[in-house]
Structure 1
């Protein structure tokens, strides 16, 4: 079974699974292109101006710097993007992120009191934004770069309302003999 299905309970249903929006990868892709171009230029300079064994040492040094920068500024952000998950089930909202150390949060839908979104002009053009989930008695949790944030907002709101409808409040009295209504009424009147 693949992730996130293996993180769900037996009778829990997956409603939505998203990674952050692809705009989070624009910077790392740009860094890759620029660092590769700079490494190619530096390699050309080394071959042109250095002779003998110095050429090999210079090219290895350029390649090492290129590799370090690509891993640090391109590969790590891509893996971080790929290992960040925003999941909605019929019972909860899950967020999982991390490469070596994992971080996660689970919010039961029954505790969600408010769902909001916001996005600026660029986010609207890219169809992304920030989703804000307010759980009972907690600070608002903000999830950035959610793809199709308006659609996710609507879906999450519907799931919260469905979860609220399924839940029977423990404080609601039931009608009938022996109920709380009978205790408050005088005996002669029914």
Structure 2
């Protein structure tokens, strides 16, 4: 599934498109295993009940198991799949939700600073939190961004290219005889 249709303006290109890190799905998968295992475990004593009650017990176990799987396993997966984080050359875009859709667009010209935070566990998983300070009063924090350092670099590069970030450091200076078009800006370009 790609990013939501109709999000991009004319000529706008996506540099980064991410879903939240897969660590969001660890707990739903474990819950799914427990629900299925518990359902199987409950089926055996339910089959030994007398005639009308065995069917009632089996139907109740199946119904409750299906309800729990939908609520605790399928819904988080759909939520993860429909959450999008995009960086284009013009803005940062966030979309999330299934029934209630929420969107946020931050133009590159409004970004004051970008930073990331990673715990040791986040570093092992290659994820982290991205904090964007814009013209709004409070910073916006995006948790569980995969490859957060690369996303941070892409936003910094784009915002800096538009003259909104700090002066270029030595890594951004083009060597003599080299042209910017020959350099690779980031892995997203």
Give the equivalent residue in structure 2 for 1:123: 122
C-alpha offsets along residues 37-61 of structure 1, whole Å, 9 cap, x if unaligned?
A: 001001111013x021211111000
> Aligned pairs, how many?
163
Other structure's SS at 2:9 match = coil
Other structure's SS at 1:66 match = helix
Give the equivalent residue in structure 2 for 1:13: 13
Give the equivalent residue in structure 2 for 1:55: 54
Q: Where in structure 2 are the equivalents of 1:83-122 lying within 5 Å?
A: 83-122=82-121
- For the pair shown, which has the larger CA radius of gyration, 1 or 2? 1
**Root-mean-square deviation (CA), in Å?**
1.2
Q: C-alpha separation between the residues in 2 aligned to 1:123 and 1:45?
A: 43
Structure 2 unmatched ranges of 5 or more: 165-189
Does the CA contact (< 8 Å) of 2:3 and 2:17 recur in 1?
A: no
Q: Where in structure 2 are the equivalents of 1:24-43 lying within 5 Å?
A: 24-43=24-43
Does the CA contact (< 8 Å) of 1:87 and 1:93 recur in 2?
A: yes
Residue 5 of structure 1 deviates from its aligned partner by 5.5
Residue 164 of structure 1 deviates from its aligned partner by 2.2
Q: C-alpha separation between the residues in 1 aligned to 2:76 and 2:42?
A: 25
Q: C-alpha separation between the residues in 2 aligned to 1:15 and 1:53?
A: 61
Does the CA contact (< 8 Å) of 1:5 and 1:14 recur in 2?
A: no
Give the equivalent residue in structure 1 for 2:75: 76
Q: Which has the higher contact order (CA 8 A, sep 6+)?
A: 2
Does the CA contact (< 8 Å) of 2:115 and 2:131 recur in 1?
A: yes
Q: So what's the TM-score if we normalise by structure 2?
A: 0.83
Does the CA contact (< 8 Å) of 2:130 and 2:143 recur in 1?
A: yes
Q: Residues 5 and 89 of structure 1: is their aligned pair in 2 closer, same or farther, counting only changes over 3 Å?
A: farther
| Moved segments of 4+, more than 6 Å | none
Structure 1 unmatched ranges of 5 or more: 166-190
Residue 152 of structure 1 deviates from its aligned partner by 0.9
Other structure's SS at 2:59 match = helix
Which shifted more, 136-145 or 87-96? 136-145
